[in-house]
Chain A
Amino acid sequence: MNKKYNTSGRLTSIKNQQKISLKDIPVLEYEVFYQEVVQILEDVNNHCLSYYAFPFDNKLKFICAISADEEKEILLLSHELEKPDLPLKSIAGQHLAMHIFEREIHENHGVPFEGHPWLKPVRYAFNRKDRKKMINNYPFYKIGGNELHEVGVGPIHAGVIEPGHFRFLCNGETVLHLEIQLGWQHRGVEALFLEKKKLLQRNLLAESIAGDTAIGHNLAFCQLAEALGDITVDKNLEIERVIALELERMAIHTGDLSAFCTDVAYQLGSAVFGALRTPLINFTQAWSGNRFGKGLIRVGGTNYPLTQELQQKLKGILNDFEKKFTEIAERTFNLPSVLKRFESIGAVSTRQVSLLGGVGMVAKMAGLKRDSRYGQPFGAYRDLKHEPVLLGSGDVYARGMVRKLEVEQSLVIIRNLMEKLNARVAPTQPVPAANLKWAGESIAVSVTEGWRGEVCHIAVTDKQGEISHYKVKDPSMHNWKSLELSLRDLEISDFPINNKSYDLSYCGHDL
């Protein structure tokens, strides 16, 4: 139990990957709930993992999960509403980071929040409250004036990327304001988690939430299922999962660095980083049969143990990778013409990012210590004492540098963990669970650190032990706002490199 916050019995605290009976979360009056949340969020070490509402016993039940990084605990608060059309005082009025959650609740359940800056639609969910709100009449922010013009980009883009609409308010080449409208990719993932009953179906679903974070999201789901199904996995499996997660991070970061170079037309970097990514994802394919690691992580076991043979192969690949990566990274991050395009472009301050509730890479590049591997350690990270990479400048350079440093960090982590694997001879639990007996009337929270940042899955079960509500949160949800702020007073031609430096997920946001 959390000593610092749980003095009043107003909240419950649990660990990452832990379940708790729904009854154990005290249901507060909204006024008390509001004050408590506002007070907890005053501390910069705390941030909201997820805040959402779902129908429960003819009422609307609100759950707020806050990550207390110092204490390594997840604080759970709750309140209930009988009439969802009564206005509530907006927490976003005090802590802007909550704006996206309140917008989502408003969109899905029609709860009006008083004092919220602007309750814009988030993603036009299929099961939203007001069906009349359509994606075609999104309320864009407008500025009057003869000198200004609007540039609209998307939702269909040149090149093979996901759909999203960007609207720039420009004065000549300078961007005054950027607004990003998403929701074009909505697939109803959360509802599908209830619809699909088989564990394997849910696995496949989790892998498809954001195709580039297949391992991150699937691991979050598996940990959640294991928490609710009372399964403990052995150390070896935990280590293998972390290796997979770090490999995913390395591969995507390297690919991103290649894209950084492509965007500033630095041909050598683009080619070499691009070529370096290939052996990594090819290894994942050799390991699991899929380059993105789909099928690798399964509940309670694995079909693909990391054998001695594979470990040897991985060692070879990593040694080769390290040499080349260091060389090209040194060259790229020291080339004047490249630095000119990276440095002080699209800078956001630590304060801005903390206001927006930035997580993962976006937090780290602005010097905010938010990393679930450190704040909510899971699996093998519990023994690792992870220290996140921190940069301060918040510009494109910082976002590139975070990737470079994290790749180097991942190399160390993987090598360390492989030694631990070697020391243990016991083979990994071979068979994943086919069925699970879920604990009834419980809630569990699972947080993992995907390459983009904190991935949070929360499930609530009913009396029969069926999932009655499933909540997914991808780090992109908070971080898109940071991209918007980065563009202020920047040249419009610097948008692509900024967008790439964030590399946020459209489908992770749209679900």
Chain B
Amino acid sequence: MISLLLIFIGALIFPGLISITKAKLSGKKGPGIFQPYKDILRLLKKGSVYSSTTSFVFQVAPIIYMASVLGAILMIPFGNFKQGLISFEGDFLMFAYMLAFGKFLMIISALDTGSGFEGMGANREALYSMLVEPAFFIVLSSVVMLSGYTSFYEMFTHFHVENYVSWLYVAISVYLLIQITLIENSRLPVDDPKTHLELTMVHEVMVLDNSGFDLGLIQITGALKFAMFGALIGNLVIPPMHLGFELSALAFVVIQALFAITVGFMESFRARLKMIYNPQFILTLSGIALIAFFAVFFITKTI
């Protein structure tokens, strides 16, 4: 329960912090921290418009997408103190495929509109999700190997960091998780959430036809996903520091904030990748994850 609460707090400040960071870095004044939510509130007050070519898939997709992310969040524990609301052996697999299920629905709902643009976006999103999946699993399986358990709570509780080599592993994992989050949330360098050019969009173009309430849901889900990955990072970093309960909770929020600011920094000083280099970039992450994975072999002396 406590992790759910902390993730909600994280999701509340996340989008605002990113835009404030980006605005400050380019010398602008920037919006208030809750501006993204004011926009979402405005959307939620509106009705949705549905094109006559769409079927029920298009109408249910945003809700299921949000539900899938919420379901995944339920599995995330709070460090070594509290397990998630749902917790069982192998729940990290369930976690990954809950997310994939939501994404699958968004993809078919984009195809449902029959628009050339959305098909194009769906195609790209499907490709990138497929490519990023191995990286995510390799990162988590290394934790599984290090701890010897397969549920999130057990994994993070028994994931002991004994020497500096394992801290190195933590550093690599955090780096990978940040990159994976950026890809999953369609941010730079793979996608550009601010672009208005349909031909270059990945995620944005898929939700072009969604409006009003549905669009609001999709945007909230985006923020939740960010905080969810932030919580994963928190779980990886906080338990080995052996802080107390309250301090850990604070550290959780601080990590979310730092994460948001990092994203803001990363998006300010570089251009986006050329689209054909995206798969290459994502595969590189899997490569790095593999290196970490073999490092774990050495740490656990299985080889």
- Residues of chain A touching chain B, judged by Cβ–Cβ distance below 8 Å, are 149-153, 158-159, 173, 261-268, 270-272, 275, 335, 337-338, 340-341, 345, 491-496
Contact = CB atoms under 8 A, between A and B. Distances in A.
B52 interface: no
A492 B198 CA distance: 10
Interface in B170-208: 188-189, 192, 194-200
A301 B277 CA distance: 56
A159 B25 contact: no
B276 A491 contact: yes
Interface string B256-280: 0000000000011111111111000
A494 B28 contact: no
A235 to B, nearest CB: 41
Contacts of B275: 173, 491, 493-494
B22 interface: yes
Contact of B271 (A151, A153, A265): A265
Contacts of A152: 116
Contact of A271 (B26, B117, B195, B196): B26
Nearest to A275: B27
A341 B271 CA distance: 8
Given A340-B273, A496-B197, A268 B268 contact: yes
B274 A267 contact: no
Contacts of A159: 196-197
State the 5 A-B residue pairs at the shortest beta-carbon distance, nearest first. A271-B26, A496-B197, A265-B272, A265-B192, A264-B271
A340 B274 contact: yes
Given A151-B120, A270-B26, A271-B27, A492 B199 contact: yes
A119 to B, nearest CB: 29
29 contacts: A151-B117, A153-B199, A158-B197, A159-B197, A173-B275, A173-B276, A261-B271, A263-B195, A265-B271, A266-B270, A266-B271, A267-B22, A267-B26, A268-B268, A270-B26, A271-B28, A335-B270, A337-B273, A338-B270, A338-B271, A340-B271, A340-B273, A340-B277, A341-B272, A341-B274, A491-B276, A495-B199, A496-B195, A496-B199
Contacts of A495: 199-200
Nearest to A270: B26
Nearest to A331: B269
A492 B199 CA distance: 7
A492 B194 CA distance: 18
Contacts of A264: 271-272
Nearest to B269: A268
Contacts of B22: 267
Contact of A491 (B196, B272, B274): B274
Nearest to A174: B276
Interface of B: 22, 25-28, 116-117, 120, 188-189, 192, 194-200, 267-277
A341 to B, nearest CB: 5
Nearest to A339: B271
Contacts of A265: 188, 192, 194-195, 267, 271-272
Contacts of B273: 337, 340
B276 A268 contact: no
Given A152-B116, A267-B26, A271-B27, A337 B271 contact: yes
Given A266-B272, A340-B274, 18 more contacts: A158-B196, A159-B196, A261-B271, A262-B195, A264-B272, A265-B194, A267-B26, A267-B267, A267-B269, A268-B25, A271-B28, A272-B27, A337-B272, A338-B270, A340-B277, A493-B199, A494-B274, A496-B195
Contacts of A261: 271
A335 B271 contact: yes
Given A151-B120, A267-B26, A272-B27, A337 B270 contact: yes
A270 B27 CA distance: 11
A179 to B, nearest CB: 15
Contacts of B27: 271-272, 275
Contacts of A262: 195
A494 B200 CA distance: 7
Nearest to A340: B274
From B192, B199, B274, B277, residue with most partner A Cβ within 10 Å: B199
A158 B271 contact: no
B241 to A, nearest CB: 33
A149 B200 CA distance: 17
Contacts of B272: 264-266, 337, 341
Contacts of A494: 274-275
B181 to A, nearest CB: 17
Contacts of B270: 266, 335, 337-338
Nearest to B275: A493
From B200, B271, B276, residue with most partner A Cβ within 10 Å: B271
A149 B116 contact: yes
B199 to A, nearest CB: 5
Contacts of B196: 158-159
A496 B117 CA distance: 14
A391 B231 CA distance: 51
B127 to A, nearest CB: 10
B198 A158 contact: yes
B234 to A, nearest CB: 27
A322 B25 CA distance: 22
A211 B188 CA distance: 34
A338 B273 CA distance: 9
A152 B275 CA distance: 20
A340 B188 CA distance: 15
Nearest to A172: B123
A153 B189 CA distance: 25
B47 to A, nearest CB: 22
B25 A267 contact: yes
Contacts of B199: 151, 153, 492-493, 495-496
A492 B197 CA distance: 11
B90 to A, nearest CB: 37
Nearest to A160: B196
B116 A151 contact: yes
A263 B274 contact: no
A263 B199 CA distance: 11
Contacts of B117: 151
From B27, B192, B194, B200, residue with most partner A Cβ within 10 Å: B200
A268 B269 CA distance: 6
A407 to B, nearest CB: 20
A153 B117 CA distance: 9
Nearest to B187: A265
Nearest to A261: B271
Contacts of B276: 173, 491
Contacts of B194: 265
A348 B195 CA distance: 26
A413 B26 CA distance: 31
A271 B22 CA distance: 10
B191 to A, nearest CB: 9
Contacts of B116: 149-152
A47 B106 CA distance: 53
A150 B115 CA distance: 11
A266 to B, nearest CB: 4
A152 B115 CA distance: 10
Nearest to B193: A265
Nearest to A332: B271
A396 to B, nearest CB: 11
